[in-house]
Structures are given as C-alpha cells and as structure tokens.
Structure 1
Amino acid sequence: MLSPSADDLWFVPLGGTGEIGMNLNLYGHNDSWLMVDCGVSFDEPLTPKRTNDNVTSSHQSTTSSQVTHRVVAPDPSFIANQKDSLAGIVITHAHEDHVGAIPYLWQRFQKPIYTTAFTAEVLRRKLARSKLANKIPIVEVSANETVNIGPFSVTWLAITHSLPEPFALKINTTAGTVLHTADWKIDANPITGEPFDATLYKQLGKERILALVGDSTNAPKPGFSVSEGSCYDGLLSTISAKKGRVIVGCFASNVARLISLARVAQKTNRYLGLYGRSLLNMYAIAKLQGIWPDDLSIADPQHLGYLPANEVLGVATGSQGEKNAALARLAKDNHPHLQLEKGDTVIFSSIVIPGNEETVGRLTALLETKGVEVIHSENSTLPIHASGHPCAEEIKLMYHWVKPEIAIPVHGEHEHLQAHANIARECGIQKHYVGRNGDLYRLAPQPSIRRQVIKTGRIPLAQD
C-alpha cells in the first residue's frame, strides 16, 4: 500500500484528469491523505475511450456502443481501503462533478467534510434525501480562513466561477505548498459574489509555490472568457426582441444566470418561472443564503400558462437534452404547466457538453418542428452564455502571478491538459506533467510522475 513519508508531497487524481467531470483528487503527505472534491458525471459508460495515448484496447475503442449509467463516480477503492489515513474531505464548490458523489460514497470514508456555507447547504439538501441526513460532520469555513486537517494546512482563496462561493485552495505542508485552483475564471462582473481579486494570487508569487494544480477545460481557447455581466447584456438584447414566450435552458447551479434572467424579466415586463426541481432548489438556497436580491421576484410556474405569450419568461432544466427534464417535456407537449407554440423561442444559455450532441440535436429538431425558434449559444451573435472556466490568456496571467515551480494540468481531456501544459511552458514553467487518473505525481522531494500506479475506474451509482 502506498504511503507518503514526511518528506513526500504527492498528488493522485482518481477522477477528473484525462476526462471532464467526476473530480476526485488526493494529496499525500506524512502518512496521510487529503481528499479534494468527490463528484459525479451523468450518462457515462464505465470504460471511457482513452484519448491520451496511441494504444486503444478493443473494449475501449468506442463509447457509443457501451451501456451508459445515469450517475457514475470514480472508483474510490484506493483511498477507501486505507480510510484511516484519510485526514478529511474538502469540497471546493457546489457543482455536481465536485460534490455529487458524497451521498453515495461517504460511508466508505466516514471523515469530516470542509466547505463553505453555500456548498454546505447544497450538500445538506442532497443528504436529506438519503439515510445520511444529519449524520455527516460538515465543517463550514470562510474566505481566507486556514484550517489544519491532519498534516495539511488549507487556506480558502476566493475566486470567480459560475456559481456562488467557488474557492481555490492553498494547501501547505512541511514538504511544500500547492495551489489547487479547482474551477475558475477571471470575471470582473460575476453577478454573484465579489469580482476576481488578482492581489490574492499576486501575493502567492511572493511565496514559494511548489505546484499549481489547475483547471484545463478551456485551455485550447484563445483570449479571455466572457463575463457573466456581458452574458446579462446579451440575454437582455436577445429576449427584448422576442414577441412570444421565451424559455431559457441553463445549468441549474448557475445562480448568477438565474439572477440575470430575473433582471431581464423585470426589464422586459415578463414574469419569470422556474421549471425543474433543481432550479427551484437552487433558488431556495440562494434566498436562504442571502444571495438572491430582494427586489427580484419569481412567479409561480403553474400560473405562467395562463398569461399572454409576451409576458412569459421561463427557465427550464434539460439543456443537455435529458429525456425527462423540463425542456424535453415542453418539446413533447406533456409538461403540466406550460405549452409552447409557433412563434415562441427557446434559448440554450449553455454549451453542449461533449457526448451530448445527439440528444441536444434531437431536442432541437423536436422544438423546431413545432415552429419554435431555437437559439444556441454557439450560433448567437450576442453573448448568451458565459463559461465558468479560464481561456488561455487567463491561465497565462495566473502563472505569471503565482510563479509555481511545477504545472499539473487537471480537469480536462488529453487535448485540454496538453494545451494547458503548453501555456505553462510558454510562461517559463520548467516542469509540467500531463497525466491521467491513476498516475502518481511526486511533487517533493524530487518531482516526477509515475504512470498508472493506482488502479482506477468508474462505478455506477444509479441507473434508469
């Protein structure tokens, strides 16, 4: 069994490196491990296609013919088999690919969870639907707070992303210090929370940061990401021009987008209704946490069906074409509260996650057959979606500020990780390791990477 010494600082991804989604990361030091995030992915096979080498085994050659499972998580066996050495679990933010596996996997670890208030409330509501309600110790922390978790000293650093309270982590040990960015972007107008504060990260450049373990999702894209504030402007201009009902599909966790749409409704004299339990749940949490502005109201979605078409603005779940979500039901005319007609508009304020092209295409065709105009973000001349991840120029700035000795690209498929590594090289970072789940990244005392040391895989958590 692998056990790091007091001189060692290791990084081991069990999920989320070489793929997008289901993040589960481990840091090892002084006979202890720290888990960072514990997430899921949806509608995935258990044996993904490998894209980061030239050898593809017969059972990995395609994913299209494989059985998919509704909810999938990384196999946690490596750390579950030595849970006594697990010091604790840190959750960086409330997205499903970072927190969604906790209700299913926590019994295998039985360690305290450290996170901030918004994420803690999201997690508690998930646990309320399971046998673990009120049984998991959740320690709430605040921005800039430092907590000692075993031999790890963890500081929460505010950052901007696409939901409330995203945080990067400064993980300090006697063997070295790591910046774990989690999901992030540079946003001067994030709608929720404070604007990106570069001084926090410039300050790190004055310390000795051994490694930066960072988000790679948009590394192949040049320039800067779109601000949530610009997305509001684009949605307002797009919706203002429409005469019929407007339904917007977006990710339920994007509270900033919901607030923007509530403001758009106010400006365009429409009533805003939320269709989908996850949307209503996020709205309730935002209200509870004081994140939702007091001057923005939400209408009862059951009432919108009785209003004139030009007074209706709805937000619906199912932007990835999920067959039982609100958008699909609206497209099939079997939603109990609202019916779409010719002249209405559906706006996809989201991107199509790779692998969902067919399901989104079918949904689009169904809507267009009804005479509904469909606007996808990638085809819009106005910004109607803003990614929560940094593009190339933002990643460059982070490296110039932090000046780490080692770059560890994570959160992405091989092409994203390689693009991230190339950016780090351009910024003068001499050591950069492109790996995948199961690799052992030895950050100290002598940096190196050992390939496929830990057995990894995927496990199904629920099925249709």
Structure 2
Amino acid sequence: MTPDHNDLWFLPLGGTGEIGMNLNLYGHGGQWLMVDCGVTFPRPGRIAADGTIHHRGEPPVQMADPAFITDRRDQLAGLIITHAHEDHVGAVPYLWPLLQCPLYTSRFTAEILRRKLAEFDLLHRVPIIVVETGERRPIGPFDVQWLALTHSIPDPNALMIRTPLGNIFHSGDWKLDDQPLVGHGYSRKTFTDLAEEGVAAMVCDSTNATVAGHSVSEAALHDGLLAAINGAEGRVVVTCFGSNIARLHTLAMIARETGRYMGLLGRSLINMSGAAKAAGLWESADQLISASHLGYLPRHEVLAVATGSQGEPRTALRRLANGSHPDFELESGDTVIFSARAIPGNEEAIDALIGRLRTMGVTVITAEEAALPIHASGHPAREELEAMYQWVRPDVAIPVHGEAEHMEAHACIARACGVPRSLVGRNGDLFMIRPVPGIRRQVVETGRLGWEKQELVPVF
C-alpha cells in the first residue's frame, strides 16, 4: 500500500483511540512521514484501544508495532518528534534501528533524546536535525513548518505539513497558555494565517475535549503552591511530572521565598533539569542542592521534588513512603503535595500511596483538595479547542490522542465550530484526505511491542 501523487493520507499506528504511544504516518507521493514515536506504560486491568485487556506480567515499557512502515523503510522520508514527553519520544531508542531515518526536532527535545540514545549506544548513529520554531524544511515530498504552541514541557511544536494536494495542521500536544513561564509562547496570528492559506485537515489533541472551560496557566499556580508550602512545618515533598520545567521554576522560586533548600529526587527529574540547563531554559537563580544533603538539613528547610505522582513502583515517592529512600526518611508532620492529577487507570495505585503516607502521619495535599490551583493540565479544554478551530478553519477535523469518548466529544466541538466534516477512527484506519475525504477501516494490522530482557517482543 503506497500513496501516489494523487493521494494524501493519514495513518495512525498508535495514539488514536488511546492516550499514549503515539506513532503517526502521513503518506503522499510514494513516501511516508512519521510524526512522533512514543511509549506507554501498561496498567493491569486497563482495556487497550483494540479491546484487549492488559494483564500483570506484561513488559513494563510498550510501544506501537511499526511493522507496516519498517516493511517499507525505503519509503520513510523522516521522523519528526513534536516534544519530549515519553508518549511521543520514548520509543525512539527501541525502534530507530528498525527505521534508520533522519530525525527532526527542537533543541530541548534533542537534549532529552541524546540522553536516551546514549543509554542504547546509539548517540552517534542517529542523525538528529535540530530545527527552530518557525523554520520550514522539505522532507521528501512534504514541506514542513514548525509552529510555536504551549504545553506542559518546554518548546513543543505543532506542524504545518504542506503538499501540492493540500495542507495538514498537526497540533501535537498543546494548550493556550499566555504565561507558560518557560520556553516559547504562541501567537494567534500564526494560526489565523494558516486559515488564509487553507487547511485541508486538522489532526488534533483530544485529551481534554470532555473538560469545560479553559486550562489553567502555569503562572497561576504560584499562589496555591506557596500557600501549601508556607503552611507546612516539617519537610515538604512535592511530586509532579518530571518534564514540567515550568513547575520546577515555580517551586524553586517558592523555595527562595520560604527559606527552603530544593533538591530533586528521581532520575527523570534530574535528566530533565540537566537538559533544560543545556538548552538554556534554566534560570541561573534557581539553585538546586544535591539530594544527598537533604537529610542533614533541619526539617523546615527542606523542599524536595520527587518522581512518583502516579504511584509508580520504584519511584522516589514510593521509596520515601516505604522508608527505603537513601537520602532521608519521611516523618510524622512532614507534608507531601501532589502537584499532578491521576492519569486514568492509576487511581488505585495513587490512593494506596496516599493511604500509606497518611498512616505515617504525613500530611497529604492533592490537587483536588487544595483551596487554590496547584496543578495545570497541558491539554486544551473545550474553549481552547473552539478557539483553535475558529482560527484554523480546516475542511476536515481528525481527532486523535484520546480514547473514544474524548474523540467523539472533540468531533462534536469541531462540528459546532462549523468544520464541514469530522473523521473519527482508531489505530490502523486509513484516513484519506485527498482525493476524497473518508476512512478505510482497519486497513493496517496494528499491535504492540514490549521491551523485555533487552529485546523487543510482541505483546498483542
């Protein structure tokens, strides 16, 4: 199955009908362009996009099976990574040896990627081409432009993919944050200009399509986090997603304001902060101390930021709750702040972790319980989706990055905004944008690979 010069296709192998392990293909003129290559972390009992139920004992890291495109590797023009979240970049070290193509991404994402590739002894084999926001590059028969949007990680990019048959706007993960604190912002004019040029299809994030209103800005969290930390008597541990450099900046500012010393607990936090420094995205005033020093400080002077907001095993917060962390032990009167919300499917693990902490006499503050906002989603709620459709005015809406409920809600929003047609499908469906918009269901067999005992194995 090869697209000719009359075809413009979108083919998701992962991330459509589910949240995680994004892997998208665009086809035109005999070639394919891949956008994102991510992983997922299975949760026992959770139903996958194809109806399969995850079970215990599966490989802990899984990704979309790329067999369709690896069988056509000579047709793969390149791979674009839109941002550095695991569900968009995490599968590259596992799958690149099967793909063998150039990789295009932004400066911060490239820093994260280099660290991942070094672990697999691939650092000097993978051709990484760093692009700037606003830049246009030809990749095979596609003319691709990187567009500034905001998300919960520095330097995310949307894409305008231009072809002689029509243009596709690929949003990546995004929100409309007027004060993102770190990295580039966004401009309304960027997207209204796309409408003037003409957009055949908009392939867009559906994660929060069921959420009313507008997402909270990162800048709006300072007061809530300050109040929670200022009111604490003992040590404070804040758990959040390690990729949120803006949240780390806010916490570093609060550490200065409250006379506490801030240290990072967890490999992903340390890697992310290192990448931010290398990419010039870390404020020089935001000084960190070694986590090994935290145990020697008076309790009221400690502010630790820890991995483990989703209750994952072997993370820093779980080790603190079990009394097995090497740097210090939590005591009655300490405070743990969850500056994150539960990813669906993780509620049981998080509740068990919170229960364990409270049994220890630790005060726990969650985003749901806090009087002021202490967490902001990185995805667009309904008002943001409505704004983007009014700006871009595509001929066709293609909801992705969501489960069926999210994508159907997204399609309803698009129709209410005057988009003539919405195409809702799932992994393995072929979305035909040109010559005639439509879907051919389950044209490609999809599945998952897992990383187990240093090799890729089929999961289902």
- Shorter-chain TM-score bucket reads over 0.9
Of 408, 412, 419, the match for 1:422: 412
Equivalents in 1 of 2:349, 2:44: separation in Å? 16
State the partner residue of 1:16.
Answer: 15
Instruction: Quickly say closer, same or farther: Cα 1:463–1:96, change in 2 above 3 A.
Output: farther
Q: Cα distance, 1:37 vs. partner?
A: 0.2
Query: Any gaps of 5 or more consecutive residues in structure 1?
Result: none
Q: Cα distance, 1:50 vs. partner?
A: 4.6
Is 1:261 matched up with 2:251?
Answer: yes
Alignment of 1:288-367 (within 5 A): 288-367=278-357
The answer (yes or no) to whether the contact 1:399–1:424 under 8 Å persists in 2 is yes
Q: Cα distance, 1:199 vs. partner?
A: 1.4
Equivalents in 2 of 1:407, 1:261: separation in Å? 38
Q: Cα distance, 1:359 vs. partner?
A: 1.1
State the partner residue of 2:458.
Answer: none
Equivalents in 1 of 2:154, 2:198: separation in Å? 29
**Structure 1 residue ranges, 4+ long, deviating more than 4 angstroms after superposition:** 44-47
Of 72, 90, 96, the match for 1:100: 90
The answer (yes or no) to whether the contact 1:216–1:416 under 8 Å persists in 2 is yes
State the partner residue of 2:40.
Answer: 41
Q: Cα distance, 1:48 vs. partner?
A: 3.8
The letter for the 1-side match of 2:387 is L
The 3-state SS of whatever aligns with 1:6 is coil
Matched residue pairs, number? 454
The answer (yes or no) to whether the contact 1:245–1:345 under 8 Å persists in 2 is yes
What TM-score do the two structures reach when normalised by structure 2?
A: 0.96
The answer (yes or no) to whether the contact 1:238–1:382 under 8 Å persists in 2 is no
Alignment of 1:278-297 (within 5 A): 278-297=268-287
Equivalents in 2 of 1:297, 1:375: separation in Å? 25
Of 115, 123, 135, the match for 2:125: 135
Equivalents in 1 of 2:156, 2:105: separation in Å? 10
Alignment of 1:67-146 (within 5 A): 67-146=57-136
What TM-score do the two structures reach when normalised by structure 1?
A: 0.95
Is 1:198 matched up with 2:188?
Answer: yes
CA-to-partner distance for each residue in 1:117-144, whole Å, 9 max, x for gaps?
Answer: 1111110110111121211000111010
The letter for the 1-side match of 2:81 is I
State the partner residue of 2:167.
Answer: 177
State the partner residue of 1:165.
Answer: 155
The letter for the 1-side match of 2:33 is L
The 3-state SS of whatever aligns with 2:229 is helix
Instruction: Quickly say closer, same or farther: Cα 1:47–1:386, change in 2 above 3 A.
Output: closer
State the partner residue of 2:429.
Answer: 439
Equivalents in 2 of 1:47, 1:308: separation in Å? 43
Equivalents in 1 of 2:48, 2:418: separation in Å? 32
State the partner residue of 1:234.
Answer: 224
Alignment of 1:22-61 (within 5 A): 22-44=21-43, 48-50=47-49, 60=52
Q: Cα distance, 1:105 vs. partner?
A: 0.3
Instruction: Quickly say closer, same or farther: Cα 1:318–1:14, change in 2 above 3 A.
Output: same
The 3-state SS of whatever aligns with 1:124 is helix
The answer (yes or no) to whether the contact 1:46–1:457 under 8 Å persists in 2 is no
Q: Cα distance, 1:357 vs. partner?
A: 1.2
The answer (yes or no) to whether the contact 1:92–1:167 under 8 Å persists in 2 is yes
The share of aligned pairs that are identical, in percent, is 54
State the partner residue of 1:244.
Answer: 234
Equivalents in 1 of 2:197, 2:261: separation in Å? 51
Q: Cα distance, 1:45 vs. partner?
A: 6.5
Q: Cα distance, 1:406 vs. partner?
A: 0.2
The answer (yes or no) to whether the contact 1:322–1:359 under 8 Å persists in 2 is yes
The answer (yes or no) to whether the contact 2:148–2:185 under 8 Å persists in 1 is no
Q: Cα distance, 1:68 vs. partner?
A: 3.2
The answer (yes or no) to whether the contact 1:41–1:97 under 8 Å persists in 2 is yes
| TM-align CA RMSD | 1.5
Instruction: Quickly say closer, same or farther: Cα 1:47–1:235, change in 2 above 3 A.
Output: closer
Equivalents in 1 of 2:272, 2:339: separation in Å? 17
Q: Which moved more, 1:370-379 or 1:157-166?
A: 370-379
